[in-house]
Amino acid sequence: MHAGQVQIQPMSVQDIPFIEGLEIACFPEPWPGDIYRHELAHNRLSSYWVVRPVQEHAEDAPPILAYGGYWAMGSEVHIVTVATHPDYRRQGLGRVLMAWMIERARAGGATEVTLEVRAGNVAAQALYAQMGFVVVGRRKGYYHNNGEDAVLMTLFLPTVATDPSFN
Ligand SMILES: CC(C)(COP(=O)(O)OP(=O)(O)OC[C@H]1O[C@@H](n2cnc3c(N)ncnc32)[C@H](O)[C@@H]1OP(=O)(O)O)[C@@H](O)C(=O)NCCC(=O)NCCS
């Protein structure tokens, strides 16, 4: 599955049962569906996205190939989660989704995109580095299940200088 065979859409409550299965497959501390339900219904800062196969490829593929979300907080957009279905990794879908979220952050006027990632999560760190994120810090023992450190990464977005005399 490559970028031309997928589409990105807002996550809806109907997606949550499938997302719950992906959470278990993708994360050591999966979010229960209720967190997603709460986020979609009540968190006005959040945006969640799903990557689906386009019509022609929908029959032999799962309904959601990847998903992710962020909180937009003025100049900072914080990536809350990103994951690709285990059977569809290394096909560029994580990159496509990250690029989508970064572009939306940029369009919304953010100057930095932030995230945290497990110190041992080499795949995700490689993806983020490829997108231009740099390591800016570390939180010792951040993750509850095994006391793993969190690595803090930020993508600094260039601000476009506006000329007030230009109309
Ligand atoms: C991290 C994750 C989202 C990457 O998704 P993906 O769709 O496989 O990523 P892509 O195919 O777009 O890969 C883009 C780049 O990321 C890096 N990358 C991805 N997986 C990698 C791996 N297993 N090892 C090393 N680098 C990897 C590579 O640089 C890759 O580019 P390349 O394939 O041209 O070499 C996926 O592995 C995943 O869902 N992991 C479990 C959930 C998770 O850890 N999420 C992040 C939480 S912070």
Handedness of CA 42, 45, 50, 55 (dihedral sign): positive
Q: What is the pLDDT of residue 159?
A: 78
**CB under 6 Å to ligand 1: residues?**
26-27, 66, 82-84, 89-95, 117, 121-124, 126-127, 130
Closest among 24, 92, 21, 12 to 62, alpha carbons compared? 21
Q: Which domains does the chain have, with CATH numbers?
A: 3-156 (3.40.630.30)
Provide mean pLDDT across the span 82-94.
Answer: 97
Catalytic machinery residues: 116, 128
Q: What is the pLDDT of residues 29-54, one digit of tens each?
A: 999 999 999 999 999 999 999 999 99
How many A from CA of 46 to the centre of ligand 1?
23
Predicted local distance difference test score (pLDDT) of residue 161: 66
**Burial status of residue 130 (CB atoms within 10 A of its CB: 0-12, 13-18, 19 or more):** exposed
Residue carrying structure tokens 């593929």: 61
**Local confidence band at 65 (pLDDT 50, 70, 90 cut-offs):** very high
Query: Collapsing DSSP states into helix, strand and coil, what is residue 4?
Result: helix
Q: What is the 3-state secondary structure (H, E, C) of 123-167?
A: HHHHHHHHCCCEEEEEECCCCCCCCCCEEEEEEECCCCCCCCCCC
